[in-house]
Amino acid sequence: MATGAPPVVSSSTNPGVSSADPATNGTINQVALTDRPLDHPVATAFHFVFKAGAFVSYFFGSDFVLVFIFCVLFSAFDFWTVKNVTGRLLVGLRWWNQVKEDGTSQWVFESRSELEQSVMHPTESRAFWLGMYIPVFVWGLFAVFTILNPKWLLVCAVPITLLMANLVGYRWCSQEAVSKTSSSLGNLAKAVEGFKLVSSLF
């Protein structure tokens, strides 16, 4: 299900080369995707701002209560921002857990179409996934170092839990998008084969 169309990249951004040339059009588009400015610089920045705030609070705070409060707040802000804003803008994915009327829960995944995904900024995509994996690893190290100090281990557990929830949700969402793309390509291949078979009869 598409959640919004990103700006379409045109090879006309490279003056002096005709976009009608099929031999160069793919190369031009690839260069344009890599070299153009970030599509969502503010969202990319906020993908890291609240994570950095939690790290700063943990490193430079001296009062346990204040450190715990700030880590919880920054982690909660980061969870909401990643789940509802940066995932949708930077990688074209969105997930949530829906509770049905019978009380059971269901994971719901949304992703942009293959064409929309192909023109998304690769730098933003890399930044998104790095911002998902690296903080989990770093907080995991902190948790190992504080394993003998339960109260500080609790501080580490809060961001780890929220980060992992988003990471698992987006990994499942990404796999679902890949599965849909593979299914679409399979159906297209079958249609082409059917067309060739029909054509061979005439």
The pTM is what?
Answer: 0.70
Report the helix count and the strand count for the chain, using DSSP H and E.
7, 2
Tokens of 185: 């390509």
What does the CA dihedral 79, 85, 91, 97 come to, rounded to 10 degrees? 60
- The pair of structure tokens assigned to 108 is 């719901």
CA distances to 33, 98, 113, 145 from 27, rounded to whole Å, are 10, 42, 21, 48
Q: How far apart are CA 202 and CA 197, in angstroms?
A: 9
Q: What is the dihedral of CA 130, 133, 135, 140, to 10 degrees?
A: -160
What is the pLDDT at residue 34?
59
For residue 69, what pLDDT band results from cuts at 50, 70 and 90? Answer: very high
The reported pLDDT for the residue numbered 105 is 81
Lowest mean pLDDT among 36-40, 95-99, 187-191: 187-191
Percent of the chain, pLDDT > 70? 70
